Structure 1
C-alpha cells in the first residue's frame, strides 16, 4: 500500500464550498448543517439582528458564518454611531477574499484575523466605546458550534482579551459602582483602618489567600496559631470555618453582589475576628456583619471633615494586594503568604478546597500562559493571574525597601521577585503568647451606641448639604438648556451674547461653589458625558464641532445625572435614619425589618439582636415574627448553592473544554501538557465522563510516544460507551492509527463510519480507496460527494486523477477542462492535463 501520512486526518481537510437549498454559499467544515433547515439569513437575523442594531456601540462579532453575516450586515440599517468588527480565522478570511466578500466593505465594517484585531480595534476607538459601555461581543453559529477547533480558541482568547480590556477601562474611569456602594454603606461604617497603623509592629503575620496551596499550610497555622497575626481574604471563610481557624482580620473589597456569594461564610466568624474593608464593599456583606469593622478610604465621596486624610484606600486590584499593604501598615516585619499561588496546581485547580471553583472541578480551558514556580517547575496560569504576578512583584519591592520580609512557603506558587521561598517549618516565629484581639481592644476601643449615633448625625448633615447642592445644579442645568436653545435661535447678536454669558455663569458655578457635587455628578454619569465625545465622528464626518445638540446633551447629562444622584442620596438618608432608629431601646421593628428586607439585608436582624438582647426579650409576638421572617430569609441567602459565581465556576470546569485543550497540546506535540491534562481530569467531580476524556488524552499521549496499539486500547472505551461528545474525535485518531499500522481495511471501516457522521470525511475515504487500488469505488464516492458539494475543486481533481489512472483519459480531460473553465489559474489542473496529453501523444 502506498504510504499515507499518519496525521493527515488530524489536519483539517480543505475547506469545502457548499450551496444549501436556499441558494446560500457556505463552507461545509465551518457550518455543516447549521443552515440546512432554516436559511442562514433567517437564523442570523433572529440570532443577531436586533443586537446588531444597538447604537453607540462597537460590535465585535466572532466568526462570519462562512461570510453569510457580511451581506446581512451590509443590507441592514446600521446606526451611524456604531462600528462592526468581524474576527475570522485565517483560512476563512482567505476564502472570503477570493469570493470578493471583503471588497469595498463600508467604512463602518472591518473583517480581520485574531492577530490583527487589536490594532484594528484601536483604529475603531475601542477604548472610547469602552468608556461609554459600548463594546458588544457577539458569537456566530460557527463559533458556538466550533466544528473547527480554531473557533474554540478564538472564543476563549477573545473573551480573555476583552475581560482584561474591561478591567483596564474600569480602572481608568473609576468605577461608579464604588460610589454607589460607598453611599449605601454610610450607616454601617465604624472606624477608620488608619487606627490600626503600627499596632502590630515587629510581629509576624500570615496572609491566607485562596490558592490551592492554602490547604498545605493550614495544619501548620493551626499548630502555630498563638504566635501569628492571622489575616485572611474573605473568599476563603468557608474553608477556614471547616478547619476551625478564625482569622484576626478578614478583608473584603469587592462591590458586586457576587462577592456576597463568594464570601458570605465570613458572617459566621465570632467577635474575635474584625473586618477590614474598602469603602466600596458590597452592602450585602457589610450590612450583615455583627462585629468590629474598619473601613479603608474616604467615608464620603466628596470633600468632608469626616474623611480622614491618613485613611488610605490601599492598593488593588485584588483583595490580596490590599491585605498585604495593610499588613505592612500594621507594622508587621515578616509577612507569610499562604495560598498566594497565582497559577494552576498540578491537578488543574486554581483555588483551595471549599471554594466554588474546587467544587466545580479543575479548570479545563486552554491555558496559553506558563510561568515558573518557586522550585523551577512550570505551571499554567490565566491572564488575570499573570497581571497579578507583576503587580505583586512591584508591591514586594516597595515593602522590601521598608525592611518588611515576604515569604511564600508553597513550592508550587508563582516565582515572584522580592518574595522568598521558605518552607513553613523553617520560618522563625516569635516566642511567647500573642493575643492580637486583646491588643486591639486595649489600644483601639470599639464605638459605643452614643458614638455611633453622633457619627450618623454628622453624616445626616452632610447628606442634607449634598441634596441642597444637587437641587441647585439641577435647576441651573435646566436653565442652561433653555439658554442654549435661545442662544442658537437668537437673531440679535447682543441678545445671543447675553444668553451665552448666562451659560458661562452657570458653568463657573459648577467649577467653583458647586464643584464637589458637580464633579460627583460627572463621575457617576461619566458614560453620559463621554457620549458627547462621539467616538465614531473621526470616521463619519461630524456635521459641526460645537453644536446646539452637543451643548444640550452636556447639560442634559448634568440634569439627569443630578436627578439620579439625588435619588441615591435620598435613599441613603432613609437608610441612615433606619440605622439611627436601630440604636433606640424601643424601635419600630415593623419599619426596621421592612428596610432590611428592601435592602436585601435580612442578616441585619442578627446585628440588631446581638446588640440589643434586652429589646429582643421585650419584643411582642408580632415583632418576634418579623425578626423570624428576616432570619429565615437570611438562612435562605446563606444556603443558596446555585449562585452566579458557582455557575461561572462550573463553566470553567466544563469537561468538553478538555477536547480543545487536548487537541491543541497534541498538535504542538506537548507530552508534558497532555500528562498534566490527564492528571487534571483525575480530579474532576464528574468522574464517569471524565474517565472517557482522560482515555482520549491518554490515547493522544500514546500516539506521540509512537505506541499506536496502546493508543487504540485507550480509545476503545469511548466506542464501547458510544460517548457522543468524543466519538468523532476518537474515530479520527483511530483511523490515523490504522494508517500508521498499515492496516487499510481498519482505516477504511473507520473512515466509512466517519463519513456517515459527516460528509467532510469523504475526501479522506476517497484518498484511501485510491491507495488501496479500489478505483471504481473511489470514483463512485467522488460522484456522490460532488452531488452535495459541486464546487469542491479538491474532489474534482481527485476524480480526474482516478479517471486518468483507470484509463478514462477523456473523462479526465473533461473534468480538468471544467475546472480550468472555472479557474484558468489552477496550475494543478493544468499540469495534470498536460501530463494526460503527453501520455496520449
Structure 2
C-alpha cells in the first residue's frame, strides 16, 4: 500500500492510500466527525473500527463513548508508523479501553458491539484478505438499514396494529406430517426446475418467496405458504391478482400496505438484529428469525424453526451464468450489464459464474449457516447456481429419490 500524508485545505493533516482519500482534502476532521455522528450507536456495548490511519475516526468515537471498549483493526502494519506521526496520536496512546490490532484473532466482541466501517477503509482493504467480504457484507446491510430506517419503523408500527398471529400460533395450529420442505426462490434455475414439483406435490411442504409466487401459479403449483420481507411498497405486486389464499408469513418490517391488504391467514415474523422486534419476541417468548438480508434466507430460517430437517432449495442461484438474475415471470430481478461491479464464484457445475455484492452477501450467510448443519439436510437444484458449502447439488432423478425415500 502507498501511504501519503498531506495537508488539507483547513491546515489539518489528511491521508490517502493507493490514491484513495481516507479523509477529506478540505476539512478532514469535520468530515470524520459528521460520519461518526451519523453512524455511532451510543447504546452499543463496545465498538470495532476498521482502519487506524491518523486516528481521526478513533478520536471521534473516544470523545463520545467514554470508557467503553474499542477495537481498531488496522488494514496494514505500517498504519502504526503513520499514526505515530499524527498530531493527535499523543491523546490516544495508552488508553486502557482501546486495543489496536492487526489480526482479528485478538478481537473479542459480541452481538452488542457495533462494527464501524468507513467506506474509504473498505475500498483500500485487499480483496484477497479473508475479512474483506465479511466486512463488505456488514457494510451492505448497514447502509440498507440506514437508508430505510424510517420506512422500517413505520412498517413495524403499523404491522403491530394488525394484531396478527405469530410463529407460535402457526406451530400450535399446524400438525406437520414428516414432509420434505422445499424453499422456492426466483433465481433463473427455477425456469428449468419448477416442473419437478408437480408429480410429487403432495409429499412436499412448499414455502415460496413472494417474487416466485406467480411463477408457481402459472404452473398450477399452489404453495403451502408464501413469505415476504421487503419494506418497500412495490412488494404489493407479488400478491395482488393471484387469488392465493394460503398462509402468509411476513417480516415485522415488511411493507404494511401489502400485509394489511392480504385478507387471509397471516403470521408476523420477528427478526433478530432489529431491537424493537427482539424486545417483543423476548416479552412473549416468540422465536426470533435470522433474516440474513433476503426473503429467501428469512424463509430458510423460518423452515428451520418449524422443525423441518430436510430442505430442498429451488431457484436459489445466488448468481447467474448469463445476464438475468431471476426466473421468467418473477416479480423481481433485472438484467445485469457488463459495466457493473460483479464478483465471480464457483457454481454447482464447477464453472465460474457472476454474482452481485448483494447476492454474494446472501451466499456468505448460507455458507456460515451450513458450517455446522447438525442433523439438517439441505440440497440445491440450481446446477448453474453458486455452490453453497455442505449443500449437495441434486438433479431431477436424485430429487425424486429423496422425496420417495
User: Contact between 2:252 and 2:268, CA under 8 Å: does it hold in 1?
Assistant: no
- Richer in strand (by share): 2
Residue 214 of structure 1 deviates from its aligned partner by 1.8
Please name the residue that 1:40 is paired with: 28
CA distance in 1: counterparts of 2:58 and 2:361, whole angstroms: 35
Question: Which of 345, 354, 360 in structure 2 is aligned with 1:382?
Answer: 360
CA distance in 2: counterparts of 1:335 and 1:28, whole angstroms: 48
Give the TM-score, by structure 1 length: 0.34
Please name the residue that 2:383 is paired with: 411
C-alpha deviations, 1:77-128, integer Å up to 9, x for none? Answer: 5442555555443165044155266557251674746x435634x2xxx437
Please name the residue that 1:248 is paired with: 223
Give the TM-score, by structure 2 length: 0.61
Please name the residue that 1:90 is paired with: 76
CA distance in 1: counterparts of 2:111 and 2:335, whole angstroms: 39
C-alpha deviations, 1:8-66, integer Å up to 9, x for none? Answer: xxxx6x54444456554444555669755x34344445x347458874454555445x5
CA distance in 2: counterparts of 1:277 and 1:100, whole angstroms: 53
Matches of residues 817-828 of structure 1 in structure 2 within 5 Å? none
SS in 1 for 2:247: strand
CA distance in 1: counterparts of 2:367 and 2:262, whole angstroms: 31
Q: 5+ unaligned residues in a row in structure 1: which ranges?
A: 1-11, 166-175, 401-405, 432-841
CA distance in 2: counterparts of 1:224 and 1:157, whole angstroms: 41
CA distance in 1: counterparts of 2:30 and 2:403, whole angstroms: 72
Please name the residue that 1:337 is paired with: 313
C-alpha deviations, 1:480-506, integer Å up to 9, x for none? Answer: xxxxxxxxxxxxxxxxxxxxxxxxxxx
| CA gap 1:27/1:56 in 2 versus in 1, 3 angstroms | same
Please name the residue that 1:137 is paired with: 116
CA distance in 1: counterparts of 2:289 and 2:373, whole angstroms: 9
SS in 2 for 1:90: coil
Q: Is 1:215 matched with 2:191?
A: yes
| CA gap 1:149/1:185 in 2 versus in 1, 3 angstroms | same
C-alpha deviations, 1:448-481, integer Å up to 9, x for none? Answer: xxxxxxxxxxxxxxxxxxxxxxxxxxxxxxxxxx
Please name the residue that 2:66 is paired with: 80
| Aligned-pair Cα RMSD in Å | 5.6
C-alpha deviations, 1:259-297, integer Å up to 9, x for none? Answer: x655751243214x4115379584544432133557899
Please name the residue that 1:186 is paired with: 163
Q: Is 1:257 matched with 2:244?
A: no
C-alpha deviations, 1:527-553, integer Å up to 9, x for none? Answer: xxxxxxxxxxxxxxxxxxxxxxxxxxx
| CA gap 1:151/1:279 in 2 versus in 1, 3 angstroms | closer
User: Contact between 1:338 and 1:409, CA under 8 Å: does it hold in 2?
Assistant: yes
Please name the residue that 1:320 is paired with: 300
Please name the residue that 1:69 is paired with: 56
Q: Number of paired residues? A: 366
User: Contact between 2:325 and 2:334, CA under 8 Å: does it hold in 1?
Assistant: yes
Q: Is 1:268 matched with 2:248?
A: no
| CA gap 1:48/1:227 in 2 versus in 1, 3 angstroms | closer
Matches of residues 265-414 of structure 1 in structure 2 within 5 Å? 265-271=238-244, 273-277=245-249, 282=254, 284-293=257-266, 318-323=298-303, 328=308, 336-341=312-317, 343-347=318-322, 351-352=326-327, 354=330, 356-358=332-334, 364=341, 366=343, 373-377=347-351, 382=360, 384-389=362-367, 391=369, 397-398=375-376, 408-413=380-385, 414=387
Larger Rg: 1
| CA gap 1:316/1:410 in 2 versus in 1, 3 angstroms | same
Q: 5+ unaligned residues in a row in structure 2: which ranges?
A: 143-152, 271-279, 292-297
